[in-house]
Amino acid sequence: MTTKVMTKATNQPTTGVMTPYALGTLGMIGAPFLFIEGLAHGFNMTQPTPLGGFLELFYLGGWMSSIIGLGMLQATGRGKGGKIILGLQLLGLILATVFSVFNIVWPSLSPDTLLFQITDTAWPLSHTFMLVVGGAVLMARRLSGWTRFAPLACGLAVPLLMAVGMIGGEQAMLFFGPYTWVVFTLLGYAVRTGKQL
C-alpha cells in the first residue's frame, strides 16, 4: 500500500513503462532529433531522404510519448473535449510518421501524389495544432508553474519559423531545430515531473 502511494505521488514507477515519468523521459530523449537531422543535412534539406526519415522517427516517437503522457496526467482536462484534442494530435503525428517511413522505404514517392501531400502536410499542422493543446492545458490548470506553458511553446514553433523566415529567409531553419529541441525537451520534462491525479 505504501509503495503504491509513493509511486503515485512521485510519478516514479517501480514497474512498467507506460507512466508519465517514463513517457516524459522518452519525450526529452527524442527532442533533439529534428535538430540532428538539420545538422546531418547542413540545414539545407531540399527533399526528403532516408536518413532524414530515420531521424524524424525518434523525434516523433518522443513527441507521441509526451502527448500520451499528457493524457495520463489529464493535462487537457477530464472531459471528452480534452481527450479529443489529444486524439487529434496523435492522429496528426501518426500521419507525419507515415511520411517519415515513406522517406525511408520509398524515397522516390512523387510529391504530386495525394498520400505524399497529406502526410507531408501533417508535419506543420501537427506542430501548429500544439497551440490548441497548449490552450487546453492552460485552461485545465492540471500542470503546475511554468510547465503548463510548455505545450503552447511547442505550438509556436511554426508561427515563429514563418516570422523568422520573413526576416532571415533560408536561415530560418537554423532557428527551427534548436527551438524544437528546447521546447520539446521542456514538454517532456513537464510530463516527466507532472503529478498523476
Given pLDDT bands bounded at 50, 70 and 90, which one contains residue 197?
Answer: low
Share of the chain above pLDDT 70, in %: 88
Mean pLDDT of the chain: 89
What's the pTM value of the predicted model, to 2 decimals?
0.88
Q: Is 69's pLDDT higher than 60?
A: yes
From residue 12, how far is each of 18, 28, 32, 133, 145 by CA, in Å?
A: 11, 16, 24, 25, 20
Q: What's the pLDDT at 167?
A: 80
Per-residue pLDDT tens for 81-131? 999 999 999 999 999 999 999 999 988 888 899 999 999 999 999 999 999
Q: What's the pLDDT at 1?
A: 39
Which residue has cell 493543446? Answer: 133
Q: What's the pLDDT at 17?
A: 66
User: Under a CB-based contact definition with an 8 Å cutoff, are residues 97 and 57 in contact?
Assistant: yes
Domain that holds residue 114: 2-193
Q: What's the pLDDT at 144?
A: 92
**Domain count along the chain:** 1
Give the residue with greater pLDDT, 152 vs 15.
152
Per-residue pLDDT tens for 151-189? 999 999 999 999 888 886 666 778 899 999 999 999 999
Q: What amino acid occupies position 193? A: T
Task: List the grid coordinates of 168.
Answer: 532571415
Give the residue with greater pLDDT, 75 vs 38.
75
Q: Computed over its alpha carbons, how large is the radius of gyration of the chain?
A: 17
